[in-house]
Amino acid sequence: MKNVVVVGSQWGDEGKGKIVDWLSSEADVVVRFQGGHNAGHTLVIDKKVFKLRLLPSGIVREGKISILGNGVVIDPWALLEEIKEIKKQGINVTPDNFMISESASLILPFHQEMDEIREDAAGKGKIGTTRRGIGPCYEDKVGRRSIRVMDLRSTKNLDSRLKNVLLHHNAIRKGLKKKIYKKDDLKKKLLKIAPEILKFAKPIWLKLDEFGKDRKKILFEGAQGILLDVDHGTYPFVTSSNTVPAMAATGSGLGPNTINYVLGITKAYTTRVGSGPFPTELKNKIGESLGKRGKEFGTVTARKRRCGWFDGVLVRQTIKIAGINAIALTKLDVLDELDEIKICVEYQLNGKKIDYLPAVSEDQFNIKPIYKTFSGWKSSTQGIRNIKDLPEKAKNYIYALEDFIGAKISSISTSPERDDTILIEDPFKS
C-alpha cells in the first residue's frame, strides 16, 4: 500500500485534474485537502469534458470514494449546484462515494461580497482573487468564528455561531456603508440546504484511518500550486491556504507518516492567472501562441492565463520546499511548433546573479531571467504514449529539465485525453 500526494509545482493550472484522474484508476480513495471552488480541474474522458470545482477528480470513476477534507472551504450552494451538474453528465454522487469533513468551514454570501469589495477597492494593488470568498472564509476559520459543516446539525448551535460571525462582519459592513446581514434570514437559508449537505458529512479523519487499516490506496489532490502557498509563494499574490504537500496531512486528519510519495505536476512551460510577479512571462506572439495552443483559460473563471518560458529556478525551489519525489510533465505537445524553446536557469537582480526567488515582492518584480536555449522539434508529440517515440529534440528538452530541477520525470502528458500519457514510473508502485 502506498499513499500519494499530487500538488502543482508552479502557480497552478498545471493539469492536475487529468493526472489525478489517471492515477485514481489505481487509488481507492481521492481526497481534496485545501482550497475551495476557486480552483478548477478539467477532465477529458473519451472526448467528454468534465469541469470540476469542488468535487475531487476521482468522482468521475466508478468504485472510488471522493472526499473533501477539513482543510477545504466549502460554498454549500456551489457544491450542490456542481453535484447537480455532474449528475446530468451521468456521474452518480451519493454518500457512498462522496464524503465531506464535518469540520470543514462554509463559505457564506458575505464572504464572497467581502472578497469583491476588497478587490474593487485595491486598484492597482489587486491580488487577482477569483472573488469566490475563499480568503475571507479562511480568515474566519483562523479567527475561530467560521460556520462549519457540523454546525448545521443543531438549530441552537447554528444560531449562536451565526450571531458570533455576524458580529464581526456586520461591524465591518457598517463602516463600509454596506447592507447588514440578518441572522435569521441566513439561518433560514442554511437550514433549507442542511439535509442535503449533512448526508455527506462524516468524521473524515476516522474514515481515513479505517481506510488505512483496510490497506486502501489514498490519493491526495491539491488545488492551485506551491507558488501560491500563503507561506512559500509569491506573497502577497498568493491564495489563502497552504498548498504544499504537508497540508495533505493537516487538511485531512491523517499523520504525515502516512504520506509515501509526492508527485509534482509541472507544465512544460509556465503560466499564471491574476496579478503578481512572473519572471519568464512572454508579452509577445510566442506568449500568445502558447496561450492559444494550450487553451490557457481558467476552468472556474475563464480568465486568460499569462504565459511564459519554463522557469527552472522556481520549479527547483518548489521541489525542495515541497519534498517532491518526481514530477509529471504536462502539455509537452503545446511546444511542438516552436523554432526554439528556453529554460530559465538563473536570475539577475541589481546586477548580481542569484539562483532562487527572493522573498521580497519588489525584488520578485525586478528580477530578470537568464535563459538556456534549445532547438524546437517542429513535429507533433500529441497522443504519444511511449518515450521512445518522442522526437530526439523533445527528449533532449525533457532530460535537460530533469537534470536542472533535480527531480526525475515520472510521466509525460501529451494531450488532455486520459490515456495520452507516457508512464516512466508509477507513484503507487515505485
Catalytic residues: 13, 41
Contacts for 340 with CB less than 8 Å, ≥ 6 apart? 373, 374, 375, 376
Provide the pairing of β-strand 201-202 with 98-101: parallel
Cα-based distances in Å from 43 to 90, 346, 374, 400? 14, 34, 31, 29
Contacts for 305 with CB less than 8 Å, ≥ 6 apart? 13, 271, 272, 273, 291, 296, 297, 298
Contact 406, 325 (CB under 8 A): no
Q: What angle do CA 306, 312, 6 make, to 5 degrees?
A: 80
Neighbours of 175 (CB within 10 A): 8
Here the cell at position 107 is: 463559505
Cα-based distances in Å from 173 to 133, 143, 170, 182, 368? 15, 17, 5, 12, 42
Contact 339, 378 (CB under 8 A): yes
**Looking at the chain, how many residues does it have?**
430
Neighbours of 392 (CB within 10 A): 9
Nearest residue to 343 (alpha-carbon basis) of 309, 315, 378, 307:
309
Neighbours of 106 (CB within 10 A): 24
Q: With the CA atoms of 287, 239, 130 and 182 taken in that order, what torsion angle do they form, in degrees rounded to the nearest 10?
A: -170
Contacts for 357 with CB less than 8 Å, ≥ 6 apart? 234, 279, 313, 314, 317, 347, 364, 367
The secondary element (H helix, E strand) that includes residue 292 is: helix 285-293
3-state secondary structure of 159: helix
Contacts for 221 with CB less than 8 Å, ≥ 6 apart? 6, 16, 20, 30, 31, 32, 33, 56, 57, 58
